Homo-oligomer: A and B are copies of this chain.
Amino acid sequence: MTVPEKIAGFIRSQDHFFIASHINPEGDALGSTISLCLALKAMGKDVVAYNVDGVPYIYEFLPRRELIISELDGIDTNKYNLLLLDCNEPERASLENKGFKNSLVIDHHLTRKDFGDIRWIEPGAPATGVMVYHLIKALGVEITKEMAVNLYTAISIDTGTFRYDNTTSETLRVAAELIDRGADPAEIAIRLYESWRYNRFELLVRMLKTLEMIDLSCCRVAITHITLNMFRETGTTQADTENFSNFARMIEDVDVSVMLRETEPLKWKASMRGKGRVNLALVASRLGGGGHKNAAGFKAEGSLENVKSRLIEVLKKDC
């Protein structure tokens, strides 16, 4: 991967940066933000790292997570150059009403708008963290252990720790170097996959019991759901469902795994995960949502049965 000189050169030439990423941040958004913040600080720059939602509890192990602020009181954004990571529209970072000196976008998602004075988009990169890794090296900054843990976490989350089809030999070589720089693969895996609160585990078991298999002529769909009542009874929150949509994928011949969770009475968020056969980005866009081919989502209102029927109708068309 080659870092565009217009990105590296611009960063070298400027002093004030405001790094931000998308709402509901996961490991790639957070790890990319923190590691780039550390690298720019190492270059002596003035850096603000921001996320409107802060750092969710499952990422509390990330070193230097306290660098991320979620309040902008008293900060005049106009003096900063925005570095928007892992998304490419200011609305996704809840920054649509803020002004910046210049705006740069660094993202591995295909873009719908062309926001940004300088844009670096690599749809082939498995994670924004891989791009940030190469950027930090291009800037001549040594990768510290703190950066390495953040970047390894970023790459782990977006590749399912090297299990998704965005994993390449290059991904593993970058990860290998991050281990040499101090990232501990087992420690990070325990934090990501084996540090569930007990009631989160209870919620998972209850969700798995709702599994419904639907055979369409073109594909096999596994649907699970979580009602507000299930959250209440287990003492869990929406954030506890991170990664839940992947579980039903484990069944053979399941092409699409869908998890529906109730966010308010009769309001649902759907997370869909695929194995390559169905273009879920397209399915989601027809239902007002978005995402990648194998990982997409949408919001819907109505009864559970009604939401399911609408989804099935769209899936029948697109698969």
Residues in chain A within 8 A of chain B (CB atoms): 160-170, 172-173, 175-177, 179-180, 185-187, 189-190, 193-198, 201, 204-205, 208-209, 211, 213, 248-252, 254, 275
Contact = CB atoms under 8 A, between A and B. Distances in A.
Given A162-B189, A194-B275, 19 more contacts: A160-B189, A161-B163, A162-B185, A163-B185, A163-B189, A164-B186, A165-B185, A165-B186, A166-B186, A169-B176, A193-B250, A194-B250, A194-B254, A195-B252, A196-B251, A201-B250, A205-B205, A205-B211, A208-B208
A248 B194 CA distance: 8
A212 to B, nearest CB: 12
- Majority secondary structure of chain A interface residues (helix, strand, loop or mixed): helix
A58 to B, nearest CB: 10
A288 to B, nearest CB: 28
Shortest 7 CB-CB distances between A and B: which pairs? Answer: A165-B186, A163-B189, A172-B176, A169-B179, A169-B176, A195-B252, A167-B185
Contacts of A185: 162-163, 165, 167
B179 A176 contact: no
A286 to B, nearest CB: 25
Contacts of A180: 169
Contacts of A190: 275
B250 A198 contact: no
Identical chains in the assembly = 2
Contacts of A175: 162, 172
Contact of A208 (B189, B198, B205, B248): B205
Contacts of A254: 194
A133 to B, nearest CB: 14
Contacts of A204: 208
Contact of A167 (B160, B186, B249): B186
A179 to B, nearest CB: 4
30 contacts: A161-B161, A162-B162, A162-B175, A162-B185, A162-B189, A163-B185, A163-B189, A164-B189, A165-B186, A165-B187, A167-B179, A167-B186, A168-B179, A169-B176, A169-B177, A169-B179, A170-B176, A172-B173, A172-B175, A172-B179, A193-B250, A194-B250, A194-B275, A195-B250, A197-B252, A201-B208, A201-B248, A201-B251, A204-B208, A208-B208
